Amino acid sequence: MRLTWHPLTCIYITARSFLFLLSFLQVTTGPRHLPTAPPNRFPERGGTARSMQCPMDAAASGTSPVMQFHGIVDEPTSHSSPLLERSQRHCYGHEIPGEFPLAVSPSIVLHATCTFFSKPANFAPNFALSLPEVAAFDMCHKRPMVKLMAPQEREHLKQRCGGSWKLVFKYIVARERNYSRVVAGPGHSIVVTAKGDVYSFGANCWGQLGLGDTEDQFKPCLIRSLQGIKITQAAVGSRQTMLVSDTGSVYAFGKGSFVWAELSDAADHITTPKIVKSLKGVFVVQAAIGGYFSAFLSREGQVYTISWGRTERLGHSSDPSDVEPHLLSGPLEDVLVAQISAGNCYLLMLAYQPTGMSVYSVGCGLGGKLGHGCKNNKGSPKLIEHFLTLSFNPVSVAAGTWHAAALGDDGRVCTWGWGHTGCLGHGDEEYRALPTVVQGLSNVKAVHVSTGEYTTFVVSDNGDAYSFGSAESLNIGFQEDEEAADDADFSTPNLVESLKVLNDKVVQISPTNSSYWLNSEMGYPHTFALMESGKLYAFGGGIKGQLGVKLSEGQERAQNPERVPIDIC
């Protein structure tokens, strides 16, 4: 792995070196001590506490704040480091020189950094900013979503996050951890590399691969029409694909009832990526495709949906042919959303708050998949309150076709919705209308969770993968053989041994998440496993090429993980 020095680290070291050189200069004559300070609060260190008037940034503040230095030793230190030696100097703007070790206060180093290197670092001298706050400021402004904001928009985002750049960075990280870079669609697959290139393969009867034709592909193909555009996230539906760029644009291709009416004019499908013009005024950071609707998350943390608003089941009443995005407001008016996840006719939203995360849901409530203790539909977003009862702080959500899952910051996993084939992991097939902790994972600290139609995957902190639910297409990774898999269901978590033997840690799992996969156009569902090394493996149905590898003659499914010839990193 190539080690790269962070700019702040380089500046910090440079400032230290500068102060080191100053320690050899005779700035004043005659040892004079600073005014006597209150008694030392740390007598066990054998030092004293001293104060002095020192305007660290006279131009900015116009005042002379009193600086308190603790633990200044009265006797020479045994250390030979010049940085710890006592030196005499004039405090800036003050007549009386004093003695203090250069390494006694990180604030001095930070001030020197800001004062002497403010122009190269592009930081205004500001003694009020702590080093962590400066670092968070730097990391946030390297993100395109922040870099491309107007100053007033940045300040508005900062205030919505709680008034701190550290909190803004926490919000950005919460959002980025849920980007979908490897997506197993119903019959076709999309892979986004770290460089922003996009590869597609599998079924292509409606142009959902974006390659300009309708030929199925059994090996990963680069979408060359996107060269020069950096893609950060992908979403797939039964016959369509959406891609989000780092500049907030959304590209779509394939066939669908939503958005495509705007794109295809007379044609019923499109075979190359086209920008979604109705979202031109929205900087999109995530897209999701559910049953009968599409959803988009903006950089400001707002959620927009297109179509299937009949009877207000997605927060707005609109005609099915309406291709204009509609803002979900109501309870989300003053809430920052960090992640969206779409299932069959419903949407989950992970909301960010400085004190912790929460989850909202909207749409069809069949099977209790909205998590409110009932099977009723919800026309506007509603907070799932049961997480508070469980003392469960969610950091990620996954909306399966008919069931849902959430990952907690303590490594616990909750599931709810229809329990068909044991996909909830509770040892039965009963539905749960409230989030319920999966007890079979009590000895596992989870770091990732994903859901398919009737399957659930969990990745632990040591890189192991666990799965439960339907094994009909060999897509949960531990079936004995193809014939037995047709009738096999697993209602409790099982370790996926076929991934463990690869001697590489799993970081992300992506199973097929659609109710439209079982037909002649799509083939069987499949699953991807992204490893820590950047290698990608696939297993499950592959008759249409969705695994990225050509199967043997007469073979429709892959029992063991097959290496996909793409390196994500």
pLDDT digits (tens, 9 = 90+) for 391-400: 999 999 999 9
pLDDT exceeding 70 applies to what percent of the chain? 70
> Across residues 446-457, what is the average pLDDT?
95
If one counts every other C-beta atom within 10 angstroms of the C-beta of residue 341, the result is: 28
* CA dist list (Å): 396 to 79, 449, 512: 49, 8, 18
pLDDT at position 316 over 80: no
Tokens of 15: 């400032």
Residues 6+ apart with CB under 8 A from 488: 471, 472, 479, 480
* pLDDT for position 222: 97
**Placement of tokens 């230290």 in the chain:** 16
- pLDDT-derived band at 94 (thresholds 50, 70, 90) equals very low
Q: Name the average pLDDT for the chain.
A: 79
Q: What is the mean pLDDT of residues 286-312?
A: 87
* Residue 366 CB contacts under 8 Å (≥ 6 apart), including other chains: 345, 375, 402, 418
127-152: pLDDT as tens digits: 567 888 989 999 999 988 899 999 99
CA distances from 562 to 445, 472, 499, 505, 537 (A): 27, 18, 10, 16, 5
CA-based end-to-end distance of the chain: 11
| Band of residue 83 on the pLDDT scale cut at 50, 70, 90 | very low
- Whether residue 28 is predicted with pLDDT greater than 80 in this model: the reply is no
Please say if the pLDDT value at position 50 is more than 50.
no
457, pLDDT greater than 70: yes
Flag whether pLDDT at 1 surpasses 80: no
pLDDT of residue 181: 87
- For β-strands 97-101 and 182-184, DSSP reports them as unpaired
Phi-psi region of 500 (alpha: psi -120 to 50; beta: other; left: phi over 0): alpha
**pLDDT tens for residues 471-495?**
877 788 876 555 555 556 789 999 9
Torsion of CA 566, 252, 225, 521, to 10 degrees: 60
As a dihedral over the C-alpha atoms of residue 266, residue 271, residue 277, residue 283, rounded to 10 degrees, the angle is 160
Identify the pLDDT of residue 257.
Answer: 55
What does the longest C-alpha to C-alpha distance in the chain come to? 93
Q: What are phi and psi of 48, to 5 degrees?
A: -130, 165
What pLDDT does 10 receive? 55
State the Cα–Cα distance between residues 376 and 380, nearest whole angstrom: 12
Q: Of 78 and 179, which is predicted with more confidence?
A: 179
Q: How far apart are CA 403 and CA 407, in angstroms?
A: 14
Residue 349 or 319, more confident? 349
**Contacts with 54 (C-beta within 8 Å, 6 or more apart), sequence order:** 64, 65, 66, 67, 91, 92, 93, 94
Specify the pLDDT at position 82. Answer: 43
Under a CB-based contact definition with an 8 Å cutoff, are residues 241 and 190 in contact? yes
Lowest mean pLDDT among 330-334, 436-440, 465-469: 330-334
CA atoms of 433 and 239, how far apart (whole Å):
30
User: 365: exposed, middle or buried (C-beta count within 10 Å: 0-12, 13-18, 19+)?
Assistant: buried
Least confident of 27-41, 349-363, 420-434, 544-558: 27-41
With a cut of 60, say whether residue 441 has pLDDT above it: yes
The pLDDT confidence band at residue 521, using thresholds 50, 70 and 90, is low
Please report, for residues 254, 294, 532, the alpha-carbon distance to residue 504 in angstroms, rounded to integers and kept in the order given. Answer: 35, 35, 7
Amino acid present at 485: A
Place of tokens 């990620």: 396
196: left (phi over 0), alpha (psi -120 to 50) or beta: left
d(CA 416, CA 408): 14
What's the rounded Cα separation, in Å, for the pair 418 and 430? 7
Which helix (H) or strand (E) segment holds residue 166: the answer is: helix 165-176
Low-confidence winner among 224-228, 395-399, 564-568 (lowest mean pLDDT): 564-568
What's the pLDDT tens digit per position in 330-389? 888 889 999 999 999 899 999 998 888 999 999 999 999 999 999 999 989 999 999 999
Write out the E strands in 317-442.
Answer: 326-328, 336-343, 346-352, 358-363, 378-383, 394-399, 403-408, 413-417, 432-437
Helix (H) or strand (E) holding 528: strand 526-531
Beta bridge partners of residue 448, listed in sequence order = 459
Work out the average pLDDT over 321-325: 76
C-beta separation of 459 from 507 below 8 A: yes
Most confident listed range (172-181, 246-255, 548-557): 246-255
Mean pLDDT, residues 520-529 taken together: 81
On the question of pLDDT at 49 being above 50, the answer is no
Residue 243 is inside which H or E element, if any?
strand 240-245
**Is the pLDDT score of 428 beyond 90?**
yes
DSSP string, 192-229: E-TTS-EEEEE--TTSTT-SSS---EEEEEE-GGGTT-
Average pLDDT on 35-44 reads 44
Q: Tell me which residue of 54, 180, 151 sits closest to 530, measured CA to CA.
A: 180
Dihedral sign (CA 558, 290, 272, 319): positive
